[in-house]
Structure 1
């Protein structure tokens, strides 16, 4: 262990993150990966926003009549009653040039009553209106952007009665997203009108590390499409970012594709369940006025919506992910835990976990409520179901006590600690260790679909790696730039062990020690407590 590690371990009352910042070690890495700041103080999105956006179903074919008919349908078909509040206009709503005063102009053919007239109608139904703009010189479809016009445009939106701004990232002239999005945040705040601010910079620049005081939500991935493969990829891109989400500031894995004919009914239920479990914004992107009963039944499942809208505001995390069989857990405000068993594979499979693994303890029996069928059952601790291909089973688990929410870390169960990169290092070859869980960026690991475990983000991304491709017991486990090697692939097994794909050996806390700073290595699998791990 380094002098820095020994020094920090002896300081009382000073967190490692704070001390590292004080000593100014890798300042850039700490700035990029620090835990999120306080949420944007506009009082909005205390639970994830719910509503409609026209882009997925209509593209540039937006109009006043479409927005009004959608709002009326939401008012009448149960969506508004289920919690959907925003009716959002996407790109292509404006003319190709500003007016003589430099203001944006609604296309008079598409919006004969203007945005203010459309907003008045939407408001008359008890709903709210959202609009789209871009933080560059032009929108993604080529219409005038807001870069350099933030104050004028914010004042225009406020005067029109806009309640929500989706702010895109095209044609940004190389100006950092943080600079551009902060400028619009300040302009919106200066209007005095509450306007929910949705950052749409596609997950670039590690937006989750700085987005909380800037916007109410931020896109964590590229654009989704109406296919199961796209949905799964988007899910994995968002699932590891739970520590950055909370009331007023949410990870956004993009709009829902439910009802757009690219996925089966089973896959639609999976998307809705996963988005709710991840406390994601629920923005329907389909033809609402013409939606089928099946589509509306998914979009208005109040048991699942209650998980998304839970006031505790925790994003669910992966408890385990083995060969396309995933378990996610989300603690809820009343002490229950929502559990999703997700089968990514093409065949039905049994997926299992336990009450202890999801943070439940202290009861002789737990009640499981199936949030899709409504049925209930009880268990003494095992949670298991046969899950159809591409499907989910989603339970609300009640009874007993609920421990601390998962932190997004890899937990060493025997030591009660987390897998940790010492001193927030990014240097290749740094051996990993265990340390008291603190949700620091050096403890947040993301499991990729190919079986890698990554830490940090952007240019600093590192993979968990078996040193020098070695396969002998005692091999150092370290961080290294990701290269796709077999020595960087890991399997989370049902018995709690984590094995290296190349070696078949188990991830092991050296000597079964429990002290902070104990090194992690590969060792012959033996079932010991120092080889038991959980993800999430």
Structure 2
């Protein structure tokens, strides 16, 4: 399954505030395999609640499943957001009130309760100045989503990726994972035994590798010296120190525009070994720069 991860801007508005409701234009082809994250936390995914996959099942936020999960895998088709085949994101009873919970319901052509406008980072109900909203700003696993008057605030900012968070493992060991043990700025990026924790789940988006929801793989101070050890730092749009891409043909993680690659320092799989940057293809052991990631290609420039 292709895991080409990109931030999706479906209609370039760039304007926050209260967008004017409108009927979306018909899309030429559905966008499949979409994972919808609250922008402040890529560890969390929009999902149909696990209690039921039938009409009326709640729409919740929950931890993104490693390797993907059908309840978190959405298709954007025309003005609908579909999940589990033919179930659609639906405003319960078509109620306009703030706080109306969201559910899934069998997709019905022309049902206005199921029509949405995805614009910039907002997902707005096409019939009302109401947006998909993280209820009470609470990203707790299982929190039921609601509609609320569109404000452009963080509770209403969403990012789409074509794939969930995934572990990154060196080619020489499928049980060793790239790890950010702490979520503090300046925290080391190391290898450690895979344990499925969020410190080992990475999302590639807009040429960045995100972990802990809002921290990015980062080259300290943009240091181009051989052997520079990698860290994490608050994700900053456009920060050149955080721009990386994964190329499936070589399976290396390259620092954009620098021809330097993430390298398993000294080829050591010892827990806590901090990974480094050195020029691509110049490590005597080529395997030190080969990584497995649940994607095929993350660069189009």
Instruction: Please state if 1:467 is matched with 2:224.
Output: no
In structure 2, relative to structure 1, the CA distance for the partners of 1:439 and 1:91 (3 Å cut) is same
In structure 2, relative to structure 1, the CA distance for the partners of 1:91 and 1:496 (3 Å cut) is same
The answer to whether the 8 Å contact 2:42/2:210 transfers is no
1:387-439, Cα deviation, whole Å (9 max, x unpaired): xxxxxxxxxxxxxxxxxxxxx022211233211012xx122222210112223
> Which 4+ runs in 1 deviate beyond 4 A?
32-36, 45-55, 88-96, 129-132, 198-202
In structure 2, relative to structure 1, the CA distance for the partners of 1:131 and 1:414 (3 Å cut) is same
The answer to whether the 8 Å contact 1:434/1:519 transfers is yes
- Distance in 1 (alpha carbons) for counterparts of 2:279 and 2:178: 19
Q: Which of 130, 133, 137 is the equivalent residue of 1:176?
A: 137
Q: Which of 113, 128, 131 is the equivalent residue of 1:141?
A: 128
Instruction: Quote the residue 1:240 is aligned against.
Output: 164
In structure 2, relative to structure 1, the CA distance for the partners of 1:92 and 1:523 (3 Å cut) is same
RMSD over aligned Cα, in angstroms? Answer: 5.1
- Distance in 1 (alpha carbons) for counterparts of 2:268 and 2:75: 52
Instruction: Quote the residue 1:506 is aligned against.
Output: 261
- Distance in 2 (alpha carbons) for counterparts of 1:83 and 1:95: 27
Instruction: Quote the residue 1:535 is aligned against.
Output: 293
- Distance in 2 (alpha carbons) for counterparts of 1:444 and 1:199: 27
**Mapping 1:150-189, distance limit 5 Å:** 168-169=132-133, 175-177=136-138
Show structure 1 runs of 5+ residues with no match. 1-31, 58-81, 97-103, 105-118, 133-138, 144-166, 186-197, 207-219, 223-232, 242-407
In structure 2, relative to structure 1, the CA distance for the partners of 1:428 and 1:94 (3 Å cut) is closer
- Distance in 2 (alpha carbons) for counterparts of 1:141 and 1:409: 40
Instruction: Please state if 1:434 is matched with 2:194.
Output: no
- Distance in 1 (alpha carbons) for counterparts of 2:75 and 2:278: 52
What is the CA-CA distance between 1:176 and the residue it aligns to? 3.3
Q: Which of 514, 522, 529 is the equivalent residue of 2:277?
A: 522
Instruction: Quote the residue 2:208 is aligned against.
Output: 452
Instruction: Quote the residue 2:17 is aligned against.
Output: none
- Distance in 1 (alpha carbons) for counterparts of 2:224 and 2:96: 63
Q: Which has the larger radius of gyration?
A: 1
Show structure 2 runs of 5+ residues with no match. 1-40, 55-68, 115-125, 295-301
The answer to whether the 8 Å contact 1:50/1:85 transfers is no
The answer to whether the 8 Å contact 1:433/1:517 transfers is yes
- Distance in 2 (alpha carbons) for counterparts of 1:429 and 1:504: 23
1:235-271, Cα deviation, whole Å (9 max, x unpaired): x3x5234xxxxxxxxxxxxxxxxxxxxxxxxxxxxxx
How many residue pairs get matched?
209
- Distance in 2 (alpha carbons) for counterparts of 1:435 and 1:50: 29
Instruction: Quote the residue 2:229 is aligned against.
Output: 476
Query: Higher strand proportion, which one?
Result: 2
SS of the residue corresponding to residue 516 of structure 1 reads coil
In structure 2, relative to structure 1, the CA distance for the partners of 1:474 and 1:40 (3 Å cut) is same
Instruction: Quote the residue 2:32 is aligned against.
Output: none
What is the CA-CA distance between 1:491 and the residue it aligns to? 2.5
- Distance in 2 (alpha carbons) for counterparts of 1:509 and 1:51: 35
**Mapping 1:119-518, distance limit 5 Å:** 141=128, 168-169=132-133, 175-177=136-138, 222=158, 234=160, 236=161, 239-241=163-165, 408-416=166-174, 417-422=176-181, 425-449=182-206, 451-457=207-213, 461-483=214-236, 484-493=238-247, 494-518=249-273
The answer to whether the 8 Å contact 1:35/1:441 transfers is no
- Distance in 1 (alpha carbons) for counterparts of 2:234 and 2:74: 40
What is the CA-CA distance between 1:511 and the residue it aligns to? 0.8
The answer to whether the 8 Å contact 1:33/1:441 transfers is no
- Distance in 1 (alpha carbons) for counterparts of 2:268 and 2:127: 55
Q: Which of 80, 86, 107 is the equivalent residue of 1:84?
A: 86
Q: Which has the higher contact order (CA 8 A, sep 6+)?
A: 2
In structure 2, relative to structure 1, the CA distance for the partners of 1:91 and 1:471 (3 Å cut) is same
The answer to whether the 8 Å contact 1:487/1:502 transfers is no
- Distance in 2 (alpha carbons) for counterparts of 1:49 and 1:479: 27
SS of the residue corresponding to residue 431 of structure 1 reads coil
What is the CA-CA distance between 1:53 and the residue it aligns to? 11
What is the CA-CA distance between 1:521 and the residue it aligns to? 0.5
